[in-house]
Each structure stands twice: as C-alpha cells, then as structure tokens.
Amino acid sequence: MFVSKDTLWKGIIETLWDDFLLFFYPELADLVDFERGCDFLDTELQKLLPDNAGSKRHADKLIKVWLKNGEEFWFLIHVEIQGYPDEWIARRAFECNYRTKDRFGKEVACLIVYTDWNRQYHLDEYRNEFLDTLTIFKFKSYVLRDHSPEVLAKSPLLFAAVMEAAWQHFLKPAEDQRLIDFKLDLVERLQLRKIPKTKIDAIIDFIKLYTPFTNSDFFTNFEQELISLTKSDVPMGLQEAILDDVKKQGIEIGREEGREEGREEGREEGREEGREEGREEKAIEFVLNLWDTQEMSLNKIASLINDEPETIIAIIKAHLTKQGETEESAQLLLDEYQAKFD
C-alpha cells in the first residue's frame, strides 16, 4: 500500500521519538527523562501553522519532553519531504516558533531536516529587514546530502538507519536493482542489532515504502527477499493492497450511506453508491500522494489505478486550482513534471 512521505516521517518520528532526539540532539542524552515518554502536540501545532504556499510540503511535529530535573523541553520539527526547493520554509519555522512561544509561553528548539539535493534553499536562518528593523532567527538544520550512507551506516545511533534509508530518494528512477540491493542490505544489517522488534518493524516499513520501485517486478522480488530475511508472512503485493483497501473502504462508506438514506428506500442502493464514492475518493487520494512524491510519470500513475492519463491530469489540475494555481500555471507545472520522465 502506498504511503506518502509526510506520513512516513511523522510515523517514524512518533515511533522512534527517543532515538530521533538522541540522533539530532546527542547533548541531551543524559538530561532527558526518556522513561517519562513525550507528548505530541499535533492538534495545537495545526492551529499555529502559518498558511503559505509551502505548508503542504513538510512533515511537522511539535514534541514536548521532560528533563530529569522536571522541566519541560519543547521541540519544533520540520522535515522537508519534497525533492524541490521551498522558499517558504525558513519563514514558516520563524512564524511557528514565535507563535508557539506566544501561545504557550515556552522556549522551543527548532530543527529543519532537508531531504532534497538542492543547496539553494538549505537555510539555517530567517532574516527580514524593514527600514531600521532587522529580524534574524537562527535554527538547527540537518542536510541529508551532507551525510553519506557509508558514514550513516557506521553510526551506533538507531535513527541513523532511518536517515540512511531516506537516501533511497536520491537514486535515479531507473536504478531499481541498486535500490533493491540498498533496501535489503539495510534490513539485513538492522536484524544483526539488538533492537526491540517494534522499532525494527517500523524502520523496515520505512525502508520498504519510502522510495517505490519504477518496475513492479522489482517490488515483487524485494518482498520475496524480505520474507526470507525477516521470516515474516507473505505480504500483499502493492497493487493488490491498494485495490483491497479501496474495496474495504468503499464497502464501509456504502454501509454507512445505506443506513443514512433509509432502510425503506433501499439499503442496497445506498451501499453501492457508497462503494463507488469510496473507490473514487481513494483513487484520487492515491493519485495526489504519488504526485506529491514527484517520482513517477503520469503514465505510470495511470497504470497503477488502471485508468487513462487524461483522468490523472484532470485530478491533478483540479487539485492545483484548489491550491490557488491558475489553469495556465497548473498546466505548466504538469508539463514540467512530465518532462522529467521523457
């Protein structure tokens, strides 16, 4: 089943929050009370996030932990998840930071993790000047491309394996064989470490889903090798999982709509309408998730849902216009996107 990169980052940070902090803030290793756990303040963060053009391109987390002396420590995390520059991210970090301090009266440590290759927008400060007023906001940043897989593989810290897996994104679309070798090698090395199974499973899911194969045959080969390595049950194939999920969700929607429209007028009709609506909504969500990854041609996306490329174009255009793009600018974005795969 396809999972968007922002979902993967949010999920892995929540599952490995302690390893995440140890990796990016090793100086806090002896200060944080890890046994007390942490609070994820996602609801509060959504109320504070500035609404700008870059707001859909990141995984954002607001985390509260406790130090051993009882004090609270707050972290504002932004993971840049797209493969293209974002001019808004430094300003977004600045606005989130001061809004958090204003709302809760807490000092907040800000971290931005850059996962793209373009250095132009790998910023570590926000600067704004108006007449004689100068605002400078500096924050911690981590640029993935500056830390090679070979270096990350030598780190004893568990979250280094996640960052190593994120390097998959830098492989060229045609390098499926290299990608499968990369994934399997990382999984095999993970299994040699004495790590709780829940953490290993989470990282393996991240490795498996973070960068998709362009050729479905490689995905099948990878799953077979993964079964052998992990001694797990046979996983469902990617397309089968998508279709199964769509079917299940469509049936559930259909049941609910059937109840609401009234038993007297025909529950079966309501169920069928719900099934169809559920399939369409899930297909649209799937298309937009693949569009967000910027890693698969429109023809490939169309083949995955067994539809025409024109349908995919219409879905993406409607999405872009809802985000404020004009018809012309939406078409330009589509043309630029497709040109990467021609």
- 72-84 pLDDT, tens per residue? 999 988 887 655 5
* Position 295 confidence tier, pLDDT thresholds 50, 70, 90: low
pLDDT in tens, 130-165: 999 999 999 999 999 999 989 999 898 999 999 999
262, pLDDT greater than 60? no
244, pLDDT greater than 50? no
Phi, psi angle pair for 51, to nearest 5° = -90, 100
> Domain boundaries in the chain?
1-144, 147-234, 238-339
pTM for the model stands at 0.65
- The confidence score (pLDDT) of residue 173 equals 63
- The confidence score (pLDDT) of residue 58 equals 62
Location of structure tokens 């309408």: 273
Cα–Cα distance measured from residue 5 to residue 290, given in angstroms and rounded to the nearest whole number: 10
Cα–Cα distance measured from residue 317 to residue 319, given in angstroms and rounded to the nearest whole number: 5
Closest CA to 168 of 185, 183, 153: 183
pLDDT in tens, 35-59: 999 999 878 887 777 554 444 456 7
221, pLDDT greater than 60? yes
Q: Which two tokens stand for residue 24?
A: 């990016």
